[in-house]
DNA sequence: CTGTTAGCGCCTTCAT
DNA sequence: ATGAAGGCGCTAACAG
């Protein structure tokens, strides 16, 4: 640990609007006006103020402004954690939109906090409203209590009268992947994921069941596992040992699906021939693994943006009706489902960073064939 | 887009310390005392205050407190964006540590902002100090100006008298991977990455050069490409077309390395036989791809935590000396470097979420053999 | 142990 | 176009 010493650089007790006013030879009102651009000011005082502020390295104190305008101009966001692309994308969408709305974002991660409700209350202290993931392990009562004092939007959470809600479409895409797998002739499908873990997975299982009904069959009960790699490995082991039997697995997310695929292969089974596997999220690895993982892509960025929007509407708009918005998803077909792998086409380089783009207005699932 | 209407739920102009005091029949000072636990209070008034606060759904106004205590009790963090595991891990480490220190974190993503310096100034307005990624596209002058008014810590950035600095070890691990590849008998090594893009990559290339010198050879000049999948695909194409020649590639990150591997395979070359490939970061895909990608893992979480720590020290401690901290890394050897793939050992399920753990004190690179 | 009272820095009428 | 002055909600002496 190298340590280069240097001048202890004082961080001066910042200049205030008063010192700026004084130096510029005007009143604080004028300073405020030019800095906020809230009212016409003569060109002369304008430049003098600007220069004084510059020279003094004036940094306004948001706290003082907030107190005066009675607005924090900040949105709170509560996420469980940040591993995997899901939360990151959500956060990017949220931050981006919030910034466009002139709002700062104060982030809180629930994982690791010993007293989450307390942390949330503390957060509520410095923001105008809070968006949180439904599965952030926040007690319902905390949410309700919060909803009573500040606007709250739940992302992928259960509908509640205390908050607005945004979520991605789940059941119909689940129905679609499941039907797709059934079309491949599979008959013993298993759903991996715990429907009681939240509305997302619950709805996915519902779609799984619906697809079976449409095919005149009966869906097997869900295999309630968590969604991490370990759980996938363990699940595969249960398949390999014969404890579980299936010729197709509909996994509630990609991490799970990928871990299952790898372990099955290690155990001597081949995907998709012996057992087809599909997932959810379309993580980067889904494209790299062989065979490519068929999965459902959610417009997570868009989801985050909508959350920020809704929050803002609720904060500013006086009496918007409670809304539960649903955002459409894509089915991404590769070959782990049983489809023949696309020939190596040496495709053009992948598109650059995907900006959030307006999705088709209908919440219907879209479909897309991809190489590899 | 379903819209369930409901009661327009008023968000009352929150209760204040005055209303609570009144309802509890005490002075505002007492309310403050019990809520802050700053001073002894009789059990009687204590409970009365607590109850009044509860009934009124009292949510203190951080802005008012901040103004009074002259502290935001919040750390700012500026990141370029959030794709890939690097930034997320960093953010998790930062948030976690900041929370332990009782600081909120205000996040700003540079990507997509049209006026980043402005956004940073705005951020500076509501936090006690700012940590930012060296490569966040923040003009040097902005950093210096900021450093003049608030504590700033640069993460993986160039050392500057205006800020503290934290970074992961780079050159010696680069020297080590490079030497490892040379030991495999490779002679035409290429470094993929742009050393001018920042100190991280610059140091990695320096290590690459050092390893060559130690082996009594001369390193080829770097191939200055960016670090995304596209760039990797394009790079592989240059190899396939013969424009570039190499039997080993040291890539500045995994995204690049993985894209290269896939494209090379599509083009008929085999990794590592025809060309060895190593990367940096140890992303999830590195374990899933075949052959497993040999790479350098950085304790990114720890990096974020250190940044939060340093920032806090600088904010509270009166005159800490400027420091440039370096955090050690791991070399993770799989088989893309030419090592024989480990036999499928059906290993025990992977360890659960890795909490930040104390690293060995020495900044020396550690080494580790992994299956697959 | 409790109440009173100055500010904290900025915004915003209200006059001028 | 500009200045004066009150107030935003909370903390922290300072008296009692």
B126 vs A contacts (CB less than 8 Å):
62-63, 74, 104
* Category of A115 on φ-ψ map: left (φ > 0), alpha (ψ -120 to 50) or beta: beta
**Pick from B14, B11, B121: nearest CA to A163:** B11
- Answer whether any strand C atom is within 7 A of the Cβ of A56: no
Cβ distance B2 to A85 less than 8 Å, yes or no, reads no
Three-state DSSP class for residue B277: strand
* Confidence label for B354 from pLDDT (cuts 50, 70 and 90): very low
* Category of A113 on φ-ψ map: left (φ > 0), alpha (ψ -120 to 50) or beta: beta
Mean pLDDT of chain B: 88
B58: the nucleotide nearest its CA (via C1') is: D9
* Confidence label for A234 from pLDDT (cuts 50, 70 and 90): very high
* Confidence label for B368 from pLDDT (cuts 50, 70 and 90): low
A334 vs B contacts (CB less than 8 Å):
none
pLDDT on residue B1: 40
pLDDT on residue A10: 60
Please tell me the least confidently modeled range out of A142-146, A239-243, B116-120, B365-369.
B365-369
Nearest to A62 among B125, B228, B262 (CB): B125
> What average pLDDT does this structure show over A193-221?
96
Q: Is the pLDDT of residue A365 over 70?
A: no
Q: Is the pLDDT of residue B97 over 80?
A: yes
Mutate to test the interface with B, among A53, A58, A62 (most CBs of B within 10 A): A62
B310/B312 Cα distance (integer angstroms): 5
Nearest to B99 among A1, A113, A352 (CB): A113
Cβ distance A74 to B285 less than 8 Å, yes or no, reads no
> What average pLDDT does this structure show over B159-176?
92
Nearest to A119 among B87, B99, B363 (CB): B99
pLDDT on residue B7: 47
Domains, in order of start, for chain A = 17-56 (no CATH), 62-167+302-327 (3.40.50.2300), 171-297 (3.40.50.2300)
A234/A225 Cα distance (integer angstroms): 9
> What average pLDDT does this structure show over B227-231?
91
* Confidence label for B9 from pLDDT (cuts 50, 70 and 90): low
- Answer whether any strand D atom is within 7 A of the Cβ of B42: no
pLDDT on residue B225: 96
Half-sphere exposure of B35 (CA within 13 A, CB side): 25
Mutate to test the interface with B, among A10, A125, A343 (most CBs of B within 10 A): A125
Cβ distance A63 to B60 less than 8 Å, yes or no, reads no
Give the CA distances from residue B77 to residues A66, A106, A188, B87, B300, in Å, rounded to whole numbers and listed in that order: 21, 10, 49, 11, 15
pLDDT on residue B369: 56
B148 vs A contacts (CB less than 8 Å):
57
Q: Is the pLDDT of residue A354 over 60?
A: no
Chain B residue with CA closest to A267: the answer is B346
Q: Which helix (H) or strand (E) holds B164?
A: strand B164-168
For helices A43-55 and A17-24, give the axis angle rounded to 10 degrees.
120
Please tell me the least confidently modeled range out of A176-185, B182-191, B282-291.
B282-291
Token couple for A334: 């590769």
Mutate to test the interface with A, among B74, B126, B236 (most CBs of A within 10 A): B126
pTM for the structure as a whole: 0.87
Residue bearing the bigger pLDDT, A11 or A317: A317
> What average pLDDT does this structure show over A222-250?
95
* Confidence label for A28 from pLDDT (cuts 50, 70 and 90): very high
Q: Is the pLDDT of residue A346 over 60?
A: no
- CA A167 from chain centre, in angstroms, equals 10
* Confidence label for A368 from pLDDT (cuts 50, 70 and 90): low
B106/B66 Cα distance (integer angstroms): 15
CB-based contact B205:B195 (threshold 8 Å): yes
pLDDT in tens, B26-69: 999 999 999 999 888 999 999 999 999 999 999 999 999 999 99
> What average pLDDT does this structure show over A176-189?
97
Q: Which helix (H) or strand (E) holds A75?
A: strand A74-79
> What average pLDDT does this structure show over A229-239?
95
Q: What percent of chain B has pLDDT over 70?
A: 88
* Confidence label for A358 from pLDDT (cuts 50, 70 and 90): very low
Which residues are within 8 A (CB) of A125 and not within 5 positions of it... i.e. 6 or more apart? B59, B60, B61, B62
Token couple for A138: 């926040």
Q: Is the pLDDT of residue A318 over 90?
A: no
pLDDT in tens, A144-181: 888 888 999 999 988 888 889 999 999 999 999 999 99
Distance from A226 to chain B by nearest Cα, in Å? 12
pLDDT in tens, A220-230: 999 999 998 89
pLDDT in tens, A109-153: 999 999 999 999 999 999 999 999 987 678 888 888 888 889 999
pLDDT on residue B203: 96
Chain A residue with CA closest to B230: the answer is A349
Residue bearing the bigger pLDDT, B160 or A265: A265
pLDDT in tens, A66-110: 999 999 999 999 999 998 889 999 999 999 999 999 999 999 999
Q: Is the pLDDT of residue B331 over 90?
A: yes
Q: Is the pLDDT of residue B357 over 90?
A: no
């Amino acid at each position: 640990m190298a340590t280069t010493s240097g001048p202890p650089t004082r961080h001066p007790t910042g200049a205030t609007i008063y010192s700026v006013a004084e130096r510029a030879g005007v009143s604080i009102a004028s300073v405020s006006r030019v800095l906020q651009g809230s009212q016409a000011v003569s060109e002369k005082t304008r430049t003098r103020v600007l220069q004084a502020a510059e020279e003094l390295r004036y940094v306004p104190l948001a706290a003082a402004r907030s107190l005066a305008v009675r607005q924090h101009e900040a949105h709170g966001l509560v996420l469980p954690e940040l591993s995997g692309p899901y939360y990151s994308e959500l956060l990017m969408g949220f931050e981006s939109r919030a910034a466009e709305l002139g709002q700062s974002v104060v982030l809180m991660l629930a994982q690791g906090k010993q007293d989450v409700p307390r942390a949330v209350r503390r957060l509520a202290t410095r923001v105008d409203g809070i968006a949180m993931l439904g599965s952030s392990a926040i007690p319902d009562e905390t949410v309700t209590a919060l909803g009573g004092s500040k606007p709250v939007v739940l992302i992928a959470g259960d509908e509640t009268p205390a908050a607005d809600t945004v979520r991605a479409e789940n059941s119909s895409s689940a129905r679609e992947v499941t039907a797709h797998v059934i079309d491949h002739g599979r008959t013993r499908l298993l759903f991996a994921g715990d429907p009681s873990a939240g509305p997302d997975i619950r709805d996915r299982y519902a779609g799984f069941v619906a697809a079976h009904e449409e095919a005149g069959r009966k869906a097997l009960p869900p295999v309630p596992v968590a969604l991490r790699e370990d759980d996938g490995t363990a699940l595969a082991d249960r398949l390999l040992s014969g404890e579980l039997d299936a010729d197709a697995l509909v996994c509630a997310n990609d991490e799970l699906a990928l871990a299952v695929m790898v372990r099955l292969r290690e155990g001597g089974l081949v995907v998709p021939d012996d057992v087809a596997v599909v997932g959810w999220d379309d993580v980067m690895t889904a494209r790299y693994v062989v065979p490519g993982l068929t999965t459902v892509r959610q417009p997570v960025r868009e989801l985050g943006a909508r959350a920020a929007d809704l929050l803002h509407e609720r904060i500013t708009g006086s009496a918007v009706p409670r809304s539960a918005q649903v955002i459409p998803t894509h089915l991404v077909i590769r070959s782990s489902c049983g489809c023949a792998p696309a020939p190596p086409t040496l495709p053009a380089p992948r598109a650059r960073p995907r900006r959030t783009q307006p999705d088709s207005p209908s919440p219907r699932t879209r479909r897309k064939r991809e190489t590899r």
